[in-house]
Amino acid sequence: MMDDEELRNYFISILTKGSKSNTYKFALARFLLEYSDKQDLGSIKNKINNNEKEIVSFSKIAEKFLKYYWHQECKYRIRQNYDPNNHPSVVKVIREVFGEKYIPGYFSSMPREKKENAEEKIRERVFGMGYRSQVVPRFQKLKGQPDRHPFYEWDISSGHLEIKPEALSFFHRNYTILTKAVFFEWSKFLEKINTLPRLIAKVQSEEVRRRSLTSYQSVFQDQIDCFYCNRELDERQTHVDHFIPWSYIFEDEPWNLVLACQQCNLRKSDSLAGLNFRNNLINRNRDYQKEIPELRKSLLSLDADNNWVPVIKHHYHNCKEYGFTVRDLP
C-alpha cells in the first residue's frame, strides 16, 4: 500500500510522463478527483476500515466525459489530439449526435434525449469491450515501470471501476491542489496542438454565464448606426456584440466590441462577419483609440507597442481555421 507521498508522485507521473495520444487521461483524472471530493469523509473512513472499494459505473464516467468534452468541442472548438483527421471517439460522438455546425446554448438546457444518446455512445465507444479505446486499463500504466493499480481496479465486462478506499481518501483530501495540476497539464498538452487564446480558462470553465455588456454602450456612445447594416440604432434594442465570437476570444475587451441592432446581432450569433467588417473594425479602432481611453487600453493589451492590427487579423483568420462560420450580413 502506498502512502500519500507515493500516491501523489504516482498521480503526477501519470499526468506528466504517461503515454498520451489524446486527452482521455486528463479527463479521467478530473473525474476521479471530482467524484472523490463529493464523498462524505465519514463514509470514506468506514470504507477504509472495512477495506471496501467504491464501485463506479462506466455510465457515470461517460456522463461526465460528455460534459467535459461538450464544452471544449461545441463551445470552444478545442482540438484534442495531434491528428486533425482522427478525432477521439468522444468528439466523434458529440459531432454525430449534435452535428458539426451545432451552435450551443448551455449544457444544462441540452435536450434530454440527445444527452442520454450521447452518454450511451460514449460509454460504449470509450469504455466498452468492443472498442480498442482503453483509457481505464491504461490510465495507471507508466512506461518502463511494473504494472501497478494504486488507485482502482476495474471490470470491463461488468462496466465499472472499483476505487480503492485509500485512493478515495487521497483524492478527497488533495482535491484542490491535484485539480490544479490536472488543468495545468491538460492545458499544456492542448497548447501543443492548438493556437487558441485563454486555453486554461476554457478547460476549467463549464457553465460560464456571460456578464452583461450594457455598460459598453456608453463607451461607443458616438456610434449611432448598426456596425453591420448601418441602420440607425434604436436605444431600446441596441446590442453589444463580440465581433470575433466570445467562444473563441473568451474576454470582453472594447477592441472587439461593436454596437449592433437586434436583428444583426441575433443573425450573427456565435459566428464571424465577413472580411470587410474585419477591416471596418480595424479602422474603427484606429480612428477612436485616442479619443476613448478604454479602447486605447484594450488595444495596448493586444500589443504594448501599439502594433495591434496583425494581432486582430491573426485572431480573425485563426477563428475561421477553427471552424467558426462566416455569416452573411447586410
Report H helices in the chain. 4-16, 24-37, 41-49, 58-70, 89-98, 112-127, 135-138, 165-173, 175-191, 199-204, 246-249, 262-268, 275-288, 293-302, 309-321
Tell me which residue of 189, 190, 133, 152 sits closest to 11, measured CA to CA: 152
CB 129 within 8 A of CB 156: yes
CA atoms within a 13 Å half-sphere pointing along the CA-CB vector of 4: 8
Q: Residue 114: phi, psi to the nearest 5?
A: -70, -40
Q: How far apart are CA 121 and CA 158, in angstroms?
A: 17
Tell me which residue of 154, 179, 158, 190 sits closest to 54, measured CA to CA: 154
Return the ∠ at Cα 234 (arms to 233 and 237), rounded to 5°: 105
Residue with more model confidence, 104 or 52: 52
pLDDT in tens, 286-315: 999 999 999 999 999 999 888 999 999 999
**pTM for the full predicted model:** 0.84
Q: Residue 187: phi, psi to the nearest 5?
A: -65, -40
- Residue 299, C-alpha cell as written in the block: 488595444
Band of residue 129 on the pLDDT scale cut at 50, 70, 90: low
* Mean pLDDT of the 194-210 span: 81
Band of residue 190 on the pLDDT scale cut at 50, 70, 90: very high
Q: How far apart are CA 145 and CA 115, in angstroms?
A: 39
pLDDT in tens, 143-170: 888 889 999 999 988 899 999 999 999 9
Q: How far apart are CA 218 and CA 234, in angstroms?
A: 14
Q: How far apart are CA 278 and CA 314, in angstroms?
A: 11
